[in-house]
Amino acid sequence: MIENVPFCGEFIGHVHHLFARVYFADTDFTGVVYHARYLEFLERGRSEFIRLSLRNHKELANGEQSEKSGWVVHKMAISYHKSAHFDDILNIRTSIIKMGGARLVMAQKIFREDVLLVSAEVQLALVNSQGFPQRIPDEFIESWNVMIAGK
């Protein structure tokens, strides 16, 4: 099953699933994933979510429609429930909780099979190249709303 999942993950309903293997470099000397590495797994999940759900993601970053802008983490609350280990296959699940203005709030969970390892709520802000907040473009909000509605 996992062998057939696309490299950038896939949406099942409105939840994005990205699979990642735990490498030795992700662990401490006991083979347990180091706590800060989960932030990297979560980042990959958010990045692939945005890449698949926004057709204009590169245009936004390159400033093709207006000024250059990108997503930055504004706030994160994370809970560690269980440990992942060397060679585990993780399922990083990402979904939108709410969106408006310049902010986007996402729920993220990391599972090993059906075991919840990590949960996080992440607030992102869309900022321009000078670091000032920008409103999320209407076409992005519309595309997310269509995706969430399953249309």
| Closest C-alpha to 74, from 130, 29, 40, 125 | 125
Active site residue 28: yes
First to last CA, the chain: 26
Q: Which of 26, 28, 88, 138 is catalytic?
A: 28
Sign of CA dihedral 134, 140, 145, 147: negative
Sign of CA dihedral 53, 59, 60, 61: positive
Q: Which are the catalytic amino acids?
A: 28
